[in-house]
Amino acid sequence: MLARVILDFGSARMRATTVAIDDPGPLEAFLPESGPCTAFIRRGEGFVGLGEAARFETDRLEAADVWWDEISNQIDHDSEMPGEFGTGPIAVGSFTFDPDRSEDRSVLVIPRIIIGRRGGVFWMTKLGAARGDMALPARRERVASPVNPTAVGGAMGEDIWTRIVGEVVDLIRNDEVHKVVLARDLIVRADEPLDLRYLLDRLIENYPMTWAYLVDGMIGATPELLLRRQGGLVTSRVLAGTVWREGDTVDPLQLAAELARSQKDISEHEFAVASVAEALAPYCQAMNVPEAPSVLKLPNVMHLATDITGSVGPDTGALALAAALHPSAAVCGTPTHLALDIISELESLDRGRYAGPVGWTDMYGDGEWAIALRGGQVRPETPQEIQLFAGAGIVADSDPSVELAETGAKLVPMLQALGLDS
Ligand SMILES: C=C(O[C@H]1C=CC=C(C(=O)O)[C@@H]1O)C(=O)O
């Protein structure tokens, strides 16, 4: 198994301190110009992580879970706010969609400093620090917008991608598989290294209702939550089935009504809900799956949405649940193994961390893992370049050219952030 551990606290025990702080203002303002940093923010709540006390590179969620379990047992935590959700040392991660078919690695990092906000409570956690050493880091002065960003194409041309969607529709109509989510990529290149803090600012500003994430060069603003585990309660927001507005021609209410009635989108959505409900069931004493989806309205698209809730025992942590739920049929298909094979055969794309779990877990197994959608990856060797991804669920009634347009609508948040779509 591939695993690389970088620890800067050796085999000694680590001290961590958490204190309540005054409202620090926007969390993202603390992200430094250079050096490792992480963020997970929705509606102004969440955290930023600065520096790295430890890092685990792996190809398996399960291995990351074991590693964090061992490491978190070596941390002595002194907290002013014990038991407050999200406070204290955390591990922040971004996992590949398909570890068997990706050159990219999954990563779990333990930030050295965490600044967080939730429900009117503000905190800072520092690893390797005592209560006397809890000054807030400096806020940044300014961030740089992308210099001359240009879309330079992806692994596959739009016409070829559309043809492949047609091939998958044929497979589905021949009953060989029920649903397959196909993705495509788009590379955007600038003249100077991209300042990810600028992109994150734009995503937070334009899409405050999504989970804006930044982990190891993977950045985006996703509306889909694989799971939140908070105490004994697990919640999952399942999305699948999409409409969008071309210009301002259609009334949003009418569009939402059309989506709620669209048999094609309802069937696409039902596969996704069933996959999450089936994967969660073995871990839940009780579960609630609403019978009909609601419509989630975002600035660029609308989705059918179902919030599943369940109760889990103390032994099943957030990372273990993420391992059980990934990949759901919102990003893979039904049946899972057939959809995975078709994706790897036809998509001609290494998805890397796109559509994989991205999020955090704490020392008690609580945490939030979203699905890394509406985002892109910047790699250290090409800091002026970002690979964007977008996919669409293909079912029997899919029209390939409409699916292509749907992936275009899903690329809008990142293109806007890069200054390529107004
Ligand atoms: C696969 C993506 O979206 C998923 C989430 C919501 C709606 C989807 C759809 O309607 O196809 C996808 O299942 C993506 O954004 O790349």
Task: Tell me the pLDDT tens digit for each residue of 28-51.
Answer: 999 998 889 999 999 999 999 999
Closest CA to 357 of 222, 239, 186: 222
What amino acid positions are annotated as catalytic residues?
A: 179, 224
Beta bridge partners of 19: 124
Contact 121, 81 (CB under 8 A): yes
266/243 Cα distance (integer angstroms): 12
Pocket test for ligand 1, best of 178, 218, 224 (most atoms within 8 A of CB): 224
Quote the tokens at residue 327. Answer: 């990949």
130/137 Cα distance (integer angstroms): 15
Identify the pLDDT of residue 130: 78
ipTM of model over 0.90: yes
Identify the pLDDT of residue 7: 65
Predicted structure pTM score:
0.97
Kindly tell me the sign of the dihedral angle through the C-alpha atoms of 401, 404, 409, 415.
negative
Number of Cα atoms under 13 Å in the Cβ half of residue 363: 18
Decide if pLDDT at 8 tops 70: no
Identify the pLDDT of residue 140: 87
Longest CA–CA span in the chain (Å) reads 68
Q: What average pLDDT does range 81-104 have in this prediction? A: 96
Question: pLDDT by residue (tens digit) across 338-377?
Answer: 999 999 999 999 999 999 999 999 999 999 999 999 999 9
The set of residues, in sequence order, having a beta carbon less than 8 Å from that of 161 and lying 6+ positions away, is 182, 184, 404, 407
143/312 Cα distance (integer angstroms): 42
Ligand 1 atom closest to Cα of residue 354: 16
The set of residues, in sequence order, having a beta carbon less than 8 Å from that of 306 and lying 6+ positions away, is 237, 238, 269, 273, 289, 290, 293, 294
Identify the pLDDT of residue 295: 97
Contact 393, 330 (CB under 8 A): yes
Question: pLDDT by residue (tens digit) across 243-291?
Answer: 998 776 778 899 999 999 999 999 999 999 999 999 999 999 999 999 9
CA of 328 to the centre of ligand 1 (A): 11
Q: pLDDT confidence of 422, banded at 50, 70, 90?
A: low
Contact 372, 385 (CB under 8 A): no
Ligand 1 site, CB within 6 A: 181, 183, 224, 239-242, 303, 330-331, 373-374, 390-393, 410
Ligand 1 atom closest to Cα of residue 391: 16
Q: What average pLDDT does range 318-326 have in this prediction? A: 98
Q: Which of 3.60.120.10, 3.40.50.300, 3.40.605.10, 3.40.1480.10 is the CATH number of 3-418?
A: 3.60.120.10
Strands (E), 106-165: 106-110, 113-118, 121-127, 150-151
Decide if pLDDT at 11 tops 90: no
Burial class of residue 2 (count of CB atoms within 10 Å of its CB; 0-12, 13-18, 19+): exposed
Any idea what the Cα angle at residue 354 is, between residues 364 and 417, rounded to 5°? 100
Contact 137, 32 (CB under 8 A): yes
CA of 44 to the centre of ligand 1 (A): 24
**Domain spans in the chain, listed from the N-terminal domain onward:** 3-418
Q: pLDDT confidence of 4, banded at 50, 70, 90?
A: low
Burial class of residue 235 (count of CB atoms within 10 Å of its CB; 0-12, 13-18, 19+): middle
Closest CA to 220 of 193, 200, 242: 200
326/276 Cα distance (integer angstroms): 9
CA of 91 to the centre of ligand 1 (A): 26
Q: pLDDT confidence of 115, banded at 50, 70, 90?
A: very high
Peptide bond into 327 cis (omega under 30): yes
Decide if pLDDT at 2 tops 60: no
Decide if pLDDT at 317 tops 70: yes
